[in-house]
Amino acid sequence: MTVVYSMQHRDPRDEDLIKGTTGDWEIILGLEVHAQISSKAKLFSGASTEFGAEPNTQVSLVDAALPGMLPVINRYCVEQAVKTGLGLRAKINPYSVFDRKNYFYPDLPQGYQISQFKSPIVGEGEVVIDLAGGRSIAVGIERLHMEQDAGKSVHDLAPGNSHVDLNRSGVALMEIVSKPDMRSSDEARAYVTKLRTILRYLGTCDGNMEEGSLRADVNVSVRRPGEKLGTRCEIKNVNSIRFIGQAIEYEARRQIEILEEGGSITQETRLFDPKAGETRSMRSKEEAHDYRYFPDPDLLPLVLDQADIDRIAANLPELPDDKKARLMSEYGLSAYDATVLVGEAATADYYEAVMKSGKPGRDGKLAVNWMTSDLYGALNREGHTIETSPVSPKQLGELVDLITDGTISGRIAKDVFDSMYKTGRDPAEIVEKDGLRQVTDTGAIEAAVDAIMAANPDKVAQAKEKPALAGWFVGQVMKSTSGKANPQVVNEIIAAKLGASSDD
Ligand code: MN
């Protein structure tokens, strides 16, 4: 795999530049992703993190910040952060510190968020992203730190009143900060997609963007190619990969317009409105010193044992990049097919189960095609997932074998697949019981061809003049054999007959 190590000075690609009225512009993007740690309990309390509970039913005295309550760190959340750091090929810091980040929100009863500032638990790492045309680049990770989530203000329950739901207050988050290494909305979308895949493989975040488990703050600035970095704006809490792309496109154009008219960009925090497709100013951007960070006196510095880090490292699952390389070498897959398969661990698992359920030498490329077109088409249509697929990997593999060994044609295979999906029967049984076996017996096919030619002497004469008309006979033979005739044999016999009779 060729990976281009992306840096701030990476040469801009023409296709990434935005044409302004006064020349070209380059977009510079850095992302801060908040990923909710998969854990039954919160970061500093034993309250449940389950999604969808009645408001304020999962709030301990610590989460409500009652006076005198003390936070106690959740060891499992720490291990999840370390595991994520290792998955991002990042430096794990054995010594890190929790700080108080002071600000006022109605849904933040402490009046500060416990976060990590100067000494995060994870340092520099990287994420390799896969782009169109087989291009890959590495996006640098600046840091990963742990912090608490805030509660939620609810403004639409009663007119004139706002309510606060503290269920989410104190839930453990990982804030994963990238370097400003991305140059287009495509790259930013690919980055979040890949990061989400890695987190899901690791089991450290479920990546559910609709439920808010993964959300991105997108830092956007523009510059003339080769010039120094411009002033950036931060678009807060974008919660879908599609919206990330739209927000970037809008924001870059807004900044370019201002600059081309001789204005300047004000550093600020903005919100993306998906309905209007635009970003709007939310507040002027705070600097770090505005938050008055200081080490939380209620928490000791977090010191990790190297033995614990080693144990977590030894138990990491196979990660997407490694799985992709292995699928390519083991099954001869293209980079494209392998990338599609490793997007979800369950998809790659299904594929491997298909390949391992039969004799060695099963057609790996044909299996991918059947999975990504017919199987996924049916699953999406019927609201199933790969985990609940009515067609088992073994059955799909058997279908592939029936096509490869010529028992059925690719066309008939579609009918067999539909029947497998609906009834759960094995493909071989469907082929036998429904009499779908492909006719390759040349005698039988020849008889069918003769019958059609005898009934249509005028067409025979025409086809002898114009060989392109032979296709009509192919269609008739397929029809008279209910699609079971081997199309290749049919073609050969018809060509021979039309050719032979022209010598008469
Ligand atoms: Mn944060």
pLDDT value at residue 1:
43
For residue 500, name the pLDDT band (cuts at 50, 70, 90): low
Closest C-alpha to 61, from 82, 76, 46: 46
pLDDT value at residue 504:
41
Q: How far is the CA of 2 from the centre of ligand 1 (A)?
A: 33
User: Is the pLDDT assigned to residue 28 strictly greater than 90?
Assistant: yes
Q: How far is the CA of 34 from the centre of ligand 1 (A)?
A: 7
pLDDT value at residue 402:
93
pLDDT value at residue 3:
53
Q: How far is the CA of 149 from the centre of ligand 1 (A)?
A: 8
Amino acid in the structure at residue 65? A
Average pLDDT over residues 466-490: 85
User: Is the pLDDT assigned to residue 502 strictly greater than 50?
Assistant: no
DSSP 8-state symbol, 17: P
**What are the CB-based long-range contacts (under 8 Å, 24+) for 49-56?**
49/171, 49/172, 51/208, 51/211, 53/167, 55/154, 55/163, 55/165, 55/167, 56/164, 56/165, 56/166, 56/167
Query: What is the CB-side half-sphere exposure of residue 171 using CA atoms within 13 A?
Result: 26
Q: How far is the CA of 305 from the centre of ligand 1 (A)?
A: 26
When the pLDDT of each residue in the chain is averaged and rounded to a whole number, the result is 92
Q: How far is the CA of 16 from the centre of ligand 1 (A)?
A: 29
User: Is the pLDDT assigned to residue 421 strictly greater than 90?
Assistant: yes
Host H or E run for residue 154: strand 152-158
Q: 417 vs 500, which has greater pLDDT?
A: 417
For residue 157, name the pLDDT band (cuts at 50, 70, 90): confident
Amino acid in the structure at residue 69? M
Q: How far is the CA of 147 from the centre of ligand 1 (A)?
A: 7
Q: How far is the CA of 172 from the centre of ligand 1 (A)?
A: 11
User: Is the pLDDT assigned to residue 455 strictly greater than 60?
Assistant: yes
Q: How far is the CA of 137 from the centre of ligand 1 (A)?
A: 26
pLDDT value at residue 419:
95
Q: Which tokens is 62 given?
A: 């610590």
| Per-position b or e across 137-167, b if 16+ CB within 10 A of its CB | bbbbbbbbbbbbbbbeeeeeeeeeeeebbbb
Q: How far is the CA of 97 from the centre of ligand 1 (A)?
A: 15
Q: How far is the CA of 435 from the centre of ligand 1 (A)?
A: 63
For residue 310, name the pLDDT band (cuts at 50, 70, 90): very high
Amino acid in the structure at residue 176? I
- For residues 424 and 416, what is the distance between their CA atoms, to the nearest angstrom? 11
- For residues 412 and 31, what is the distance between their CA atoms, to the nearest angstrom? 49
Closest C-alpha to 153, from 91, 195, 96, 109: 109
Q: How far is the CA of 192 from the centre of ligand 1 (A)?
A: 16
pLDDT value at residue 441:
79
For residue 9, name the pLDDT band (cuts at 50, 70, 90): low
Burial class (CB in 10 A: 0-12, 13-18, 19+), 216: buried
Domain locations along the chain: 18-289, 320-433, 442-497
For residue 105, name the pLDDT band (cuts at 50, 70, 90): confident
CB–CB of 343/349 below 8 Å?
no
Give Dmax over CA atoms of the chain in angstroms.
107
- For residues 368 and 157, what is the distance between their CA atoms, to the nearest angstrom? 49
User: Is the pLDDT assigned to residue 7 strictly greater than 60?
Assistant: no
- For residues 50 and 180, what is the distance between their CA atoms, to the nearest angstrom? 34
Q: Which tokens is 258 given?
A: 């201002």
pLDDT value at residue 483:
81
Q: How far is the CA of 420 from the centre of ligand 1 (A)?
A: 49
For residue 2, name the pLDDT band (cuts at 50, 70, 90): very low
pLDDT value at residue 289:
79
For residue 177, name the pLDDT band (cuts at 50, 70, 90): very high
CB–CB of 366/404 below 8 Å?
yes
In the block, which residue shows the tokens 């029936």? 402
pLDDT value at residue 465:
84
- For residues 171 and 358, what is the distance between their CA atoms, to the nearest angstrom? 46
CB–CB of 49/211 below 8 Å?
no
- For residues 237 and 117, what is the distance between their CA atoms, to the nearest angstrom? 20
**What are the CB-based long-range contacts (under 8 Å, 24+) for 125-129?**
125/85, 125/88, 125/89, 125/90, 125/91, 126/88, 126/89, 126/90, 127/88, 127/178, 127/191, 127/194, 127/195, 127/198, 128/1, 128/3, 128/194, 128/321, 129/187, 129/190, 129/191, 129/193, 129/194
Could you tell me which residues are beta bridge partners of residue 122? 92, 144
Q: How far is the CA of 123 from the centre of ligand 1 (A)?
A: 16
For residue 4, name the pLDDT band (cuts at 50, 70, 90): low
Amino acid in the structure at residue 319? L
User: Is the pLDDT assigned to residue 200 strictly greater than 90?
Assistant: yes
- For residues 364 and 361, what is the distance between their CA atoms, to the nearest angstrom? 8
pLDDT value at residue 248:
97
Closest C-alpha to 32, from 236, 206, 227: 236
What lies within 8 Å, CB to CB, of 492 at 6+ separation is none
pLDDT value at residue 444:
85
User: Each residue of 340-363: pLDDT tens digit?
Assistant: 999 999 999 999 999 999 888 899
Q: How far, rounded to the nearest angstrom, does the alpha carbon of residue 185 sit from its chain's CA centroid?
A: 15
pLDDT value at residue 503:
42
Q: Which tokens is 486 given?
A: 């081997």
User: Each residue of 203-222: pLDDT tens digit?
Assistant: 999 999 999 999 999 999 99
Average pLDDT over residues 469-476: 88
Helix/strand/coil percentages in the chain, nearest 5: 40, 20, 35
User: Is the pLDDT assigned to residue 158 strictly greater than 60?
Assistant: yes
Q: How far is the CA of 27 from the centre of ligand 1 (A)?
A: 23
pLDDT value at residue 477:
87
Closest C-alpha to 144, from 223, 65, 198, 64: 198
CB–CB of 489/446 below 8 Å?
no
